[in-house]
Structure 1
Amino acid sequence: MSYPHLDAYSRLLREAHETAAPGQDRPASPRSLIKDSWRRSMAAGIDPEGDSAPLVYDTSYIQDIRGAHPLRPLLPLLTETLSSLADETEHVVIVTDEDGRVLWREGGNAILRRADRIGLADGHQWTERSVGTNGIGTALATGRPVHVYSEEHLMRALHIWSCSGAPITDPDSGRIIGCVDVSGTARSLHPATVSLVGAAAKLAESELALRMHHRDERLRRRYESLRGRPGILLSPTGRIISGDPSGSLGPRINLSPVPGEGARSPLQRGLRNASAGRIPLPSGHGADAADRLRLAGQRMILSDGTVAMLEPFSDGFLLRPAPSASPPVLTLSFLGERVPSASLGDHDRPLSLRHAEILALLALHPHGLTAEQLSFHLYGDSGNPVTIRAEIHRLRAQLGTVIAAKPYRLVCPVEADFLELRRHLAADDPAALARAYAGPLLPRSESPEIRRERDELEAQVRACLLRQGCPDALWAFAQTANGRDDYEILERLAALPPTDSRSAAARTRLLP
């Protein structure tokens, strides 16, 4: 700290606090690190008169949250490193996640009771946007160890505290995954504490790196047992661990998305260029087995035009040459009174109405729908996303991996009779319309979205045929469920020469 006398520095900070309002100049300013933090905090709407950090985790779930966090195995290492401070009555050791939410703390009973009053406790959040300038939030915001002294806190309720925090970066993903902090009453916490806290964070990162190398070695041994099968071995976060034994992919890891598929795949959208030693995966993917399965089959193009595919391998991924055969086409037959069906490759499957509705909605929304959106389209406000997830699970049992998640979307070529109908309407081709239109879209469906699509298609088909349809096209429409009694269509047919059997049939239908 550039001010050797804390009393003088405290007076300067108190003057700065008097002018710490948006848009006002500060005649006396704290050091630049704190001044920048105050600016960010004020922009986030922090009230200097606030009195506590917000509670963002239900404490009844805190054990599960702790158990799933990557710092959980390192907690003994961190607390042992800083135990001399935690044993003192006026210091508390804090470990948070990447969003400044307190997961663990240790200290004497007296200091913990004081910490409770300001929310320095399990489940409370200490980012700058939650409580303003503080050792945890400012360390996370700047990505480096910081010491925040007394009146350097923007909230006045924290002025009796000082804190030293240091972020912890995961060497595998390269992202900050948490923060270690020591907090105490203002005069009891020496500014040099930040060096000790920073050393503890570096020690944790070294341990994470050691564990990462052990995992890499296990993956590498399993990979080498493949003996010549081409592929680039990736960690769960997309870090390149080992090259390609056959040499067919290893030198070419500058990736770009497959044309036409980027809009449907967050992985492909992120693969404009692979950074050195890493292939970026979508945020939140690859961390567990379920995430890895969701990424299975993602296709991408290498810089020389070779198509590659991502597949789960043990705890990581293999990037392998994609099969040369075209993926099977999903064909949907949903028009008319017949039982809705789907075919995938050479296999035809009858579908329940609910499964047909889901596939129709996914075909109509190629960019994908969340469970909540699907539920609303199917059931309106009374829908339940849990029901949708169960139905998707059953659909996957029938159709395999053609439905991807987050959001739900079809990841194979799709042909559907109602989509073909749309193309004929766009081309204004009444003859093709008459051949393709077998009846309303899923006529038994009560889904609000399906009903809207069904009504629009029928209205457009009818209008096109009335405007320029030939007798054959009009007669074909008259054989559908809603066309049998369509007065205008039948009138056009009745006007045909009396020798035309279609004229007689139309006149018969027009009789009261």
Structure 2
Amino acid sequence: MRIEQQLQTTPRTPVYVAWERFVHGEDDLDGVRPEVAISWQRSRDVYRIDPFLSEAPNAVSPTMSSLDQDVVFAELGFCAAAMAHEVASAGGVVTIADANGRIVAAWGDKNTRSVATEGGLAPWYSWSESAVGTNSMGTALETRRAVMIKQSEHWLQAFHSWSCGAIAVREVVNGEPLAVLNISCWGGDLPLSARKWLESSATHTQKSLRRRAHDGGNELLAAYSHARGRSNEPMVAVDTAGAVVIADDIASVILGVPGNTPAIDPVVRWTPQLPPFIHAARYATKRANVDPGWTGSTQIFTPLVDEPSSIGIRPVFLQKNLIGHLISFGAFAGEHFPQAETGGVLLGHSRRVVALREENRMVMLATSEVTMAEMEGNEVWLLTDEGRLRAALSGLDKLEHDLSDTGTFLRVHRQYLVNLSRIREVERKEKGELVLIMDDAAKTVVPVSRRNNRAVRRALNI
């Protein structure tokens, strides 16, 4: 059946009626799920995707492959092949796409795949949100949970006869997507087992990545120990996202992290309380991924001195895969780059935090309007100048990562992220524990964990 014939069967559901209004410029999203409404907003106002495209565009070029990505493709390939028979019997297609939404493999019913290919649901076509708007693969790359997109929720009208579900597999260290696994069924609903199967496949694959990241942590620790024997400069080993694996006594004071305390497991690594340092490490990651022989240095301001301090950066590899860096204070190496090149100085001024209202509206908040963020179950709630709102992002770690370059947000507890500029009072308990009192009308009280006590004291100069 051709795409034009499919469109004639699109039912006029409330979601389809809302889609018709929205693509023609109206903003009434009544009855549309928040995650879909947010994606529609991006599709129309940010990416400006034509909703009447008849097929997905060809992918421009393949993504540079990493060892982690190869592992993910192999793991997901086994999962997809195992599921192919069940999906085929339901008139469906299973696909795997890379981090840019480019489909690299497809399995399923031959007839359904023929229909799918007409719309570009096949290898070498791009399904990122920036290419085709709201769809399970592209939208899953924008979030950290399984995404189910049913018929008229797709941005492209040509896919209103499809129901799809997808989940992204992400790097353990920096949270960036590596690949996305997807199920698409034409003319009906997804199998009841679809979400559970997607989540199980992603969890299985993430375990493999976590083992590799743990091996990387051990290698960073070994490289640090070897380098410390040949240098007297303050030194720290960080992963590719800038999180600390181990720091000596002096470097730990500069960064506000525990000294000589290894954090091999990527889940428990320390976050430096010095945003310019994090930006420099991430800039080094970008450069070293392109040029394995790269080394570099820059200058950053630290709490201990009024003058900028030099840091030298040397990347560390494991089986030709970048796993992190050794960074020495007071050292110089390779390319000298100013902090402006890392983006660390400029990004915080234009940062926005997206929140959701109950009536399916998005609220674009300036960082100064957010007092704190609190994790409740799988959701993040924001205390803002407009009241208590649910964050569009899932996971406090993701929000902390996105706001790390503002220089004003600090993780004070596993459940709380606070805006340092919105702290009104600090209370010291009998055993030395700190409690923060925020500047909102209710004077919200936020506990500080023992692990973060020292970082808070340094950030507030108390």
Q: What range is the shorter-chain TM-score in? A: 0.5 to 0.7
Q: Corresponding residue for 2:327?
A: 319
Q: Secondary structure at the match of 1:96?
A: strand
Q: Deviations over 1:123-169 (max 9, x none)?
A: 32212232122111222234432111122212221122111011222
Q: Secondary structure at the match of 1:70?
A: helix
Q: Corresponding residue for 1:218?
A: 219
Greater RCO (Cα-Cα under 8 Å, separation 6 or more):
2
Q: Corresponding residue for 2:55?
A: 52
Q: Deviations over 1:282-313 (max 9, x none)?
A: 286155372661x4233434321283422315
Q: Deviations over 1:160-182 (max 9, x none)?
A: 21110112221212323332211
Q: Corresponding residue for 1:14?
A: 16
Q: 1:217 to 1:272 in 2, by over 3 A?
A: closer
| 1:175-190 matched pairs, under 5 angstroms | 175-187=176-188, 189-190=190-191
Q: How many angstroms apart in 2 are the aligned matches of 1:18 and 1:130?
A: 20
Shift of 1:281: 1.7
TM-score by length of 1: 0.51
Q: Corresponding residue for 2:452?
A: none
Q: Secondary structure at the match of 1:285?
A: helix
- Report which of the two has the higher share of strand: 2
Q: 1:17 to 1:290 in 2, by over 3 A?
A: closer
Q: How many angstroms apart in 2 are the aligned matches of 1:150 and 1:185?
A: 9
Contact 1:239–1:278 (CA under 8 A) maintained in structure 2: no
Q: Note the residue ranges of structure 2 that are not aligned, 5 or more in a row.
A: 1-8, 258-271, 318-323, 342-462
Q: 1:33 to 1:174 in 2, by over 3 A?
A: closer
Contact 2:235–2:327 (CA under 8 A) maintained in structure 1: yes
Q: Secondary structure at the match of 2:252?
A: coil
* Residues 1:232 and 2:240 aligned together: no
Contact 1:85–1:91 (CA under 8 A) maintained in structure 2: no
Contact 2:101–2:127 (CA under 8 A) maintained in structure 1: yes
Q: Secondary structure at the match of 1:141?
A: coil
Q: Deviations over 1:71-107 (max 9, x none)?
A: 2112232122333432342332222233322233333
Q: Note the residue ranges of structure 1 that are not aligned, 5 or more in a row.
A: 1-6, 256-270, 328-399, 409-512
Q: How many angstroms apart in 2 are the aligned matches of 1:304 and 1:404?
A: 22
Q: How many angstroms apart in 2 are the aligned matches of 1:16 and 1:102?
A: 29
CA RMSD of aligned residues (A): 3.7
Contact 1:37–1:133 (CA under 8 A) maintained in structure 2: yes
Structure 1 letter corresponding to 2:57: P
Structure 2 letter corresponding to 1:115: A
TM-score by length of 2: 0.57
Q: Corresponding residue for 2:152?
A: 151
Q: Deviations over 1:188-233 (max 9, x none)?
A: 5235512321232232222211101112112212322345444111
Match of 1:81 among 75, 79, 82: 79
Q: 1:402 to 1:172 in 2, by over 3 A?
A: closer
Q: 1:185 to 1:80 in 2, by over 3 A?
A: same
Structure 2 letter corresponding to 1:128: E
Q: How many angstroms apart in 1 are the aligned matches of 2:284 and 2:40?
A: 29
Aligned length: 304
Q: Secondary structure at the match of 2:126?
A: coil
Q: Corresponding residue for 2:302?
A: 302
Q: Corresponding residue for 1:382?
A: none
- The share of aligned pairs that are identical, in percent, is 21
Q: How many angstroms apart in 1 are the aligned matches of 2:64 and 2:289?
A: 16
Contact 1:66–1:103 (CA under 8 A) maintained in structure 2: no
Q: 1:106 to 1:71 in 2, by over 3 A?
A: farther
Contact 2:147–2:165 (CA under 8 A) maintained in structure 1: yes
Contact 2:241–2:278 (CA under 8 A) maintained in structure 1: no
Q: Corresponding residue for 1:133?
A: 134
Q: How many angstroms apart in 2 are the aligned matches of 1:282 and 1:32?
A: 34
| 1:101-120 matched pairs, under 5 angstroms | 101-120=102-121
Match of 1:72 among 70, 73, 77: 70
Contact 1:135–1:163 (CA under 8 A) maintained in structure 2: yes
Q: How many angstroms apart in 2 are the aligned matches of 1:289 and 1:36?
A: 33
Which has the higher mean CA deviation after the structures are superposed, 188-197 or 233-242?
188-197
